Structure 1
């Protein structure tokens, strides 16, 4: 099948309904990508905007109680919105196993993978998707398997056998790291305790994705992920050695490549933490560029609020008379608005501003 032969309806049928995904397109040996994946010039990464002299901080968290760790993380959250952590305590084999499981899932035959499309999946806690959403104007060069994680949920037994155990092991190892990160970040806001209420606001739900960005014949024209900030409180990202994650720099129109560090986790501040901090911490635009020669895999854990808690600036942040920038809202409202359209940088936050 040539690129020219793929009409919009045929493309959706081939990629989505038949379960081939972008992985299937990549295997067709196309010389050029279908037009539906070609980003407009203004949304392509201009290599002249990439700043090679700067990088996001790498923070050793072997001692979470060290005041220097608190200071480094709070400073990175306010200035960069991104940092990497090392010596976090998750065994390297756990990280390698979940990455290998991601590769194995996306190497499955399409008939096997399509069992996990939303309309076919044995449970709605695992769903195979492609692109960002099919509502966007230009499709993204990626496939991903979403896992909605709830403690003691028996539906995990219906997750794909090729990756289920590895995903669960990784999540269970990551949960104490997530809690430690949030406790440190709250200290930077003079919030003394991650109590039950704040726990619901900051880590009420977890979503774990196995992300797969197949090799692409025209990486300069496509996007693995377009410009966006995450709607989570924080996101913990495990990335392979292919690279391709770029974050917005501190200067205008600057982008910084997040160089992979073996065993490290990339942490980024999401919109929710920017909102509860009343802009003390920053959720930063980032994007993913695909590769011509290699498939890229990453495993983000999106740490989200519970569905039934009101979100707004924390009282501790406003106690000195500071005016709130954001209204109160429920997370599902924000989540649904975000996924009703394609990535639009940080425009989603305008939706909840006062």
Structure 2
């Protein structure tokens, strides 16, 4: 490991080249022993996160026990959470604890690989678009970079994953995706019932959960964490996102009523569920995708592992007919899902701005 250096005397270090092009990521920067945060990562004051708010607001997103998911009160709690919060945590969800531990360990394993091994999965070198290693979010579009490295894995088939995903984490990532399928289906069944959709036929199933992507996210220990973010303000473009986070914490959700940021306290063995833009569009705004972001941490390395449950790229999404039966006017137009996703990824994180792309 290199000896500790300070940005003030390391002008020869090209941060973007080192972190992005050479594949070291922010993990590599952290391991240089930097004493101060590189200027490329310093966020504007309005985007920084006051982590003291995790103590200031003791209320948090709803916690729901899925062991009683056939109980009408549980279904009502899920629908209410999707409407009011856009986020909730679930326990007794049926995903085995050993599966969560294995995918957590595999995430640490991948990011512990040498830079040249991780770089094989970079945008420029990966043999497939469905396995992508990177750092920050669209670095070419960012005014300030985010303190995060990630591996994105888009699921096509077991066969493709076996041949193209990194061997150190592919089996564990696949097992997590498969183990979560039952609870995803149950949640979507409940949420659709809340929209008077009584049957999820083949067409609706494709729109709701036709594709899946898993991200392995790594947030290294950061100098000056108060000056940057792990992830900036955004809402997901998914139908639902299922997140497993370790016990470090750092996820913040904006309460749509108070507009205050709420820290999502990690609960051992739980999964965090959030509504994505696609479900907000299909529900005509009844279910809310909400802004969330992630803080940097000055004392711990942190991982989080979301599964994004999405429409297929070729699906055209818009308000479901059942939602408009009562005479409500459509808030959103019909859009090709791949166009919506491209719009999201071609710009920096900008809160809820992406949803405007689908406004009627």
Shorter-chain TM-score bucket reads over 0.9
Matching of residue 223 in structure 1 with residue 229 in structure 2: yes
- Which residue is 2:119 aligned to? 114
The one of 51, 57, 61 aligned to 1:56:
61
The one of 164, 172, 175 aligned to 1:166:
172
- Which residue is 2:298 aligned to? 292
Whether the 8 Å CA contact 1:156–1:164 is kept in 2: the answer is: yes
CA RMSD of aligned residues (A): 1.6
Question: Where in structure 1 are there 5+ consecutive unaligned residues?
Answer: none
**Post-superposition CA distance 1:284-322 (Å, at most 9, x none):** 101100111111100000111101111000000000111
- Which residue is 1:41 aligned to? 45
- Which residue is 1:12 aligned to? 16
1:124 offset after TM fit, Å?
Answer: 2.3
Q: 1:290 to 1:69 in 2, by over 3 A?
A: same
Question: In structure 1, how many angstroms separate the alpha carbons of the residues matched to 2:202 and 2:117?
Answer: 40
1:265 offset after TM fit, Å?
Answer: 0.3
Q: 1:195 to 1:153 in 2, by over 3 A?
A: farther
Alignment map for 1:1-354 (pairs within 5 Å): 2-4=6-8, 10-47=14-51, 51-134=56-139, 135-354=141-360
1:19 offset after TM fit, Å?
Answer: 1.1
1:181 offset after TM fit, Å?
Answer: 1.1
Whether the 8 Å CA contact 1:49–1:253 is kept in 2: the answer is: no
1:48 offset after TM fit, Å?
Answer: 6.5
1:249 offset after TM fit, Å?
Answer: 1.7
Whether the 8 Å CA contact 1:6–1:34 is kept in 2: the answer is: no
Q: Which moved more, 1:117-126 or 1:100-109?
A: 117-126
**Post-superposition CA distance 1:57-87 (Å, at most 9, x none):** 1100113322112101000000111000100
Question: Where in structure 2 are there 5+ consecutive unaligned residues?
Answer: none
SS at match of 1:118: coil
1:46 offset after TM fit, Å?
Answer: 3.3
SS at match of 1:53: coil
| Matched length | 354
- Show structure 1 runs of 4+ deviating over 4 A: 5-9, 47-51
SS at match of 2:285: coil
SS at match of 2:293: strand
SS at match of 2:68: coil
- What TM-score, normalized to structure 2? 0.95
Question: In structure 1, how many angstroms separate the alpha carbons of the residues matched to 2:70 and 2:117?
Answer: 46
1:343 offset after TM fit, Å?
Answer: 0.8
Whether the 8 Å CA contact 1:228–1:287 is kept in 2: the answer is: yes
Question: In structure 1, how many angstroms separate the alpha carbons of the residues matched to 2:157 and 2:168?
Answer: 21
**Post-superposition CA distance 1:257-295 (Å, at most 9, x none):** 100011100000011111111111110101100111111
Q: Which moved more, 1:130-139 or 1:62-71?
A: 62-71
Q: 1:328 to 1:220 in 2, by over 3 A?
A: same
